[in-house]
Amino acid sequence: MEHLADRRNLTTGIRQAIALLKVPADNPALTAAQFDAFSKQVPLLYFILATNLISLSLTHQGAAPDYLVVYLPAVLTFLFALRSLIWLRGRNRQRTPAQAYRQLRATNILSFPIAVVCTAWSLSLLPYGNAYQNAHVAFFMAITVIGCIFCLMHLRSAALIVTVTVNLPFFVVMCLSGEPTFIATGVNVILVTMAMIMILISHYRDFRQLHESRNVLMLQQQALQEQNKAMQALSDENLRLANLDSLTLLANRRSFFQMLETAFSRASGSDGRLAVGVIDLDGFKPVNDLYGHSAGDKVLIEIGNRLSTIADERLSVYRLGGDEFGLLFQGDVAEGDTITLGEKVCELIAERINIGSGMVQVTGSVGFALYPDVGKTGQEIYELADYALYTAKRRHRAGTVIFNAVQANELNRQKVVEEALVSADLDEELSLVFQPITCVDRRICIGFEALARWDSPRIGRVSPVEFIPVAEHNGRITLMTRILLERALKTASLWPEDIYLSFNLSPHDLTSPENTLKIVAIVLKSGFDPRRINFEITETAVMHDFEQASASIQMLRELGAGISLDDFGTGYSSLNHVHKLPLTKIKIDGSFVRNIHTRKTSFNIVKSVLALCAEMELEAIVEGVETEEELRILENLGVRAVQGYYFGKPMSAEDTLKQLALQKTQALAS
Ligand code: C2E
Ligand code: CA
Ligand code: CA
């Protein structure tokens, strides 16, 4: 058994020793690196061999036969020079690891015959020389083998083959000579070469490790690069998402303003033109309110899809938020192109949309501003386009408006009003007029609507149509409402008990509980019977924040006051709000009264709104009645209360008292 184990150990030992004499084939990258380092040293190796060969032949000239010291060295030197040249020429050629392996293996194999020939040759010179010459042979063999080990540092197997092939016969011959100096030389050379082989083995190991750690480093670098690439891709994707509207997949508001700046710089830097468009949907909110948000989403997605069909390299489409979209039209844009584009956009929007549970229709308004006709910055062009949109929407029908001189004047005027209002002494400059509300049957005044007036010492009398929106914008409206309500209640307290006060509230008055509470407090403080007050609210108040507005309205109702929905018919979501809010009255807008005797649609609208009011037990007041004819038609339709120039223009507080006194005497007389 023991014998068998010994044999097995012996065979593995032999196998390991043979492996040391072979070029390792397990690591192609290592082989390539080995080849690279080795190829630089091969010419030096042949140089050492040739010079040593020549030097030894020279010291043996005449002593040994010519074939040994002339012809053979000449042939060998020639072959070494040739091999050197081949290596030198092939130095820069790219090799695959397989080619490198083959060449290393060839060198490995070749090292054996070269070592044999050189050893045999030098030993064959020994019988011809004297002691000095023999010492040169010993020196030749020792120095050559050391030189070769050095040069073959990167081809461990060849170094070992050479060492064994040269040293073994050398040592034997040295010992057989019986000469102590030679024996000492033999032992010395063996010991030195053994040490060198150990250095070589450890060097080879270091080389291998260095190579491996460099590989690991390279792999780490590659991994890092890949990671960087992935991170870049991720941040690109984030950037894309940050600029994309997730619902419609159009570019978003942020991207719009970025592109606007780029397009503006381009246009302003090259005398180019640029049109900025802002689109707003009309009738979108009712879809959202009546059919739910998912239906609203479907509408927005569909419109986004339709709008993206007209986008090209000159025209880009964005979703700015809510039901608002943006357009950037670059290049040589003329006003005519913009109008055509606006019409196309309105056409696309107005096509009916399938929301699953049915078909709905919304319309669109578009406002445009054209650079360089107007605007000095990208932001300003956008604001002007937005103002043009506001104008389009004020006209209450879908269409395109391009910012022009008329709006420029309006906008200027708005700025003038704003400036004057900021520094206005509201207590001093504001006043109220009162317009009678008449009972049609009895032709008597049943109430007054309080209407604000502003006489500015700087810009004269300003219409509430102008200053109310500005005051709403800059927040002064809350103070205005308080001043006006206190005054209105003061006047109304002078009226007989059967006359009520109608007072306009702005959206601001309903958007916070504090503002509404303040109104309640003013009413309570005045001592005026809240049941004689009617607050007029508009749809915009409710559209902003429906929940808060309806809570505020509820608060006023609990106080005992009535609530009218003003300007009914001019908004979009009217019907829906009528259902949901605790209203008491509806004021049908004067625009439906104009030419009611000639316009069938106006007539029909008033008729159906009256029917709706009757069904919901709401009072109806028709505003803006100016003529006998209008009144007659309304009377036939069953209208009970009206307001308008026909019965009375807005009048001062004093005049209300005069009119009421007159009414009283007339009543007493009849
Ligand atoms: P509104 O509440 O619809 O008021 C009716 C407007 O129509 C008044 O204009 C009135 O003078 C005018 N009007 C009355 N009868 C006729 C008519 O037969 N024909 C014509 N063409 N117009 C008639 P005004 O006083 O210029 O007020 C305009 C708007 O300003 C008001 O519209 C209201 O929305 C707002 N407003 C007025 N006073 C106040 C206020 O004290 N607070 C708030 N928040 N808004 C006010
Ligand atoms: Ca009103
Ligand atoms: Ca009105």
Predicted confidence at residue 557, as pLDDT, reads 97
Q: Is 468 in the pocket of ligand 1 (CB under 6 A)?
A: yes
Q: Cα separation of 192 and 184, whole Å?
A: 12
Band of the pLDDT at 571, cuts 50, 70, 90? low
- Omega into 372 within 30° of 0, i.e. cis? yes
Higher-confidence position of 563 and 397: 563
Distances (CA, A) of 619 to 160, 207, 596, 611: 116, 101, 20, 11
β 324-331/273-282 pair status: antiparallel
CATH 3.30.70.270 residue window(s) in the chain: 253-403
Say how many Å lie between the CA of residue 293 and the centre of ligand 3.
Answer: 31
Q: Is 464 in the pocket of ligand 1 (CB under 6 A)?
A: yes
| For range 187-206, the mean pLDDT | 87
Which of 76-85, 137-146, 442-451: highest mean pLDDT?
442-451
Band of the pLDDT at 117, cuts 50, 70, 90? very high
Closest-CA residue, ligand 1 atom 17, reads: 624
Q: Cα separation of 469 and 485, whole Å?
A: 18
Asked if residues 528 and 503 have their Cβ atoms less than 8 Å apart, the reply is no
Q: Which ligand ends up closest to the CA of 593?
A: 1
Q: Cα separation of 585 and 565, whole Å?
A: 6
Task: Locate 306 and state its tokens.
Answer: 């339709």
Say how many Å lie between the CA of residue 578 and the centre of ligand 3.
Answer: 16
Q: Which ligand ends up closest to the CA of 568?
A: 3
Q: Cα separation of 522 and 535, whole Å?
A: 13
In tens, the pLDDT along 382-439 reads 999 999 998 888 776 668 999 988 888 988 999 999 999 999 999 999 999 999 999 9
| For range 246-271, the mean pLDDT | 94
Closest-CA residue, ligand 1 atom 11, reads: 650
Range in 192-196, 202-206, 542-546, 558-562 with the lowest mean pLDDT:
542-546
Q: Is 484 in the pocket of ligand 1 (CB under 6 A)?
A: yes
Q: Is 507 in the pocket of ligand 1 (CB under 6 A)?
A: no
In tens, the pLDDT along 434-478 reads 999 999 999 999 999 999 999 999 999 999 999 999 999 889 999
Asked if residues 21 and 160 have their Cβ atoms less than 8 Å apart, the reply is yes
Q: Is 574 in the pocket of ligand 1 (CB under 6 A)?
A: no
Q: What is the 3-state secondary structure (H, E, C) of 353-392?
A: EECCCCEECCEEEEEEEEECCCCCCHHHHHHHHHHHHHHH
Q: Is the pLDDT of residue 554 over 60?
A: yes
Say which CATH class 253-403 falls into.
alpha beta
Band of the pLDDT at 206, cuts 50, 70, 90? confident
Q: Which of 343, 175, 322 is nearest to 253 (CA)?
A: 322
Which of 417, 448, 451 gets mutated to test ligand 1 (max ligand atoms within 8 A of its CB)? 451
Higher-confidence position of 26 and 526: 526
Burial 122-131 (b: 16+ CB within 10 A, else e): bbebeebbee
Q: Is 566 in the pocket of ligand 1 (CB under 6 A)?
A: yes
Say how many Å lie between the CA of residue 84 and the centre of ligand 1.
Answer: 109
In tens, the pLDDT along 288-325 reads 878 889 999 999 999 999 999 999 999 999 999 999 99
* Cβ neighbours, 10 Å, residue 362: 24
Say how many Å lie between the CA of residue 79 and the centre of ligand 3.
Answer: 115
Q: Cα separation of 475 and 481, whole Å?
A: 11
Q: Is 435 in the pocket of ligand 1 (CB under 6 A)?
A: yes
Q: Which ligand ends up closest to the CA of 651?
A: 1
Range in 41-50, 210-219, 431-440, 553-562 with the lowest mean pLDDT:
210-219
Q: Which of 602, 622, 620 is nearest to 611 (CA)?
A: 620
Residue with tokens 């011809």: 128
Q: Is 326 in the pocket of ligand 1 (CB under 6 A)?
A: no
Say how many Å lie between the CA of residue 505 and the centre of ligand 2.
Answer: 8
Phi, psi torsion values for 557, nearest 5 degrees:
-65, -40
Average pLDDT, rounded, for the chain: 90
Q: Cα separation of 145 and 115, whole Å?
A: 9
In tens, the pLDDT along 342-391 reads 999 999 999 999 998 889 999 999 999 999 999 999 999 999 999 999 88
Predicted confidence at residue 11, as pLDDT, reads 76
Angle (CA) 56 60 63, round 5°: 165
Q: Angle, nearest 10°, between helix axes 600-615 and 628-637?
A: 40
Predicted confidence at residue 100, as pLDDT, reads 83
CATH 3.20.20.450 residue window(s) in the chain: 417-669
User: 3-state class of 645 per DSSP?
Assistant: coil
Predicted confidence at residue 623, as pLDDT, reads 96
| For range 233-246, the mean pLDDT | 87
Kindly compute the dihedral angle of the four CA atoms of residues 391, 396, 399, 400, in this order, to the nearest 10 degrees.
0
Q: Is 644 in the pocket of ligand 1 (CB under 6 A)?
A: yes
Predicted confidence at residue 489, as pLDDT, reads 98
Higher-confidence position of 29 and 485: 485
Q: Is 280 in the pocket of ligand 1 (CB under 6 A)?
A: no
Closest-CA residue, ligand 1 atom 23, reads: 624
Higher-confidence position of 306 and 333: 306
Q: Is 589 in the pocket of ligand 1 (CB under 6 A)?
A: no
Q: Is 569 in the pocket of ligand 1 (CB under 6 A)?
A: no
* Cβ neighbours, 10 Å, residue 264: 24
Q: Is 71 in the pocket of ligand 1 (CB under 6 A)?
A: no
Closest-CA residue, ligand 1 atom 15, reads: 644
Say how many Å lie between the CA of residue 92 and the centre of ligand 1.
Answer: 95
Say how many Å lie between the CA of residue 441 and the centre of ligand 3.
Answer: 22
Q: Is the pLDDT of residue 514 over 60?
A: yes
DSSP of 561-623? -EEEEEEETSSSSHHHHHHHS---EEEE-GGGTTTTTT-HHHHHHHHHHHHHHHHTT-EEEE-
Q: Cα separation of 291 and 601, whole Å?
A: 27
Predicted confidence at residue 358, as pLDDT, reads 87
Q: Is the pLDDT of residue 1 over 60?
A: no
Predicted confidence at residue 235, as pLDDT, reads 87
Distances (CA, A) of 456 to 292, 420, 598: 47, 7, 40
Q: Cα separation of 495 and 498, whole Å?
A: 8
Q: Cα separation of 373 and 378, whole Å?
A: 13
Say how many Å lie between the CA of residue 569 and the centre of ligand 1.
Answer: 16
Task: Locate 574 and state its tokens.
Answer: 């009217």
Residue 125, C-beta contacts closer than 8 angstroms, at least 6 positions apart: 56, 60, 64, 68, 69, 133, 137
Which of 504, 533, 563 gets mutated to test ligand 1 (max ligand atoms within 8 A of its CB)? 504
Q: Is the pLDDT of residue 500 over 70?
A: yes
Predicted confidence at residue 4, as pLDDT, reads 62
The residues placing their C-beta within 5 Å of ligand 3, an ion, are 566-567, 623
Predicted confidence at residue 290, as pLDDT, reads 80
Kindly compute the dihedral angle of the four CA atoms of residues 151, 156, 161, 164, in this order, to the nearest 10 degrees.
90
Distance, first Cα to last Cα, the chain: 147
C-alpha of 45 from chain center: 65
Predicted confidence at residue 2, as pLDDT, reads 55
Q: Is 567 in the pocket of ligand 1 (CB under 6 A)?
A: yes
| CATH number for the domain whose boundaries are 417-669 | 3.20.20.450
Q: Is the pLDDT of residue 593 over 60?
A: yes
Asked if residues 641 and 437 have their Cβ atoms less than 8 Å apart, the reply is yes
Task: Locate 111 and state its tokens.
Answer: 């090292």
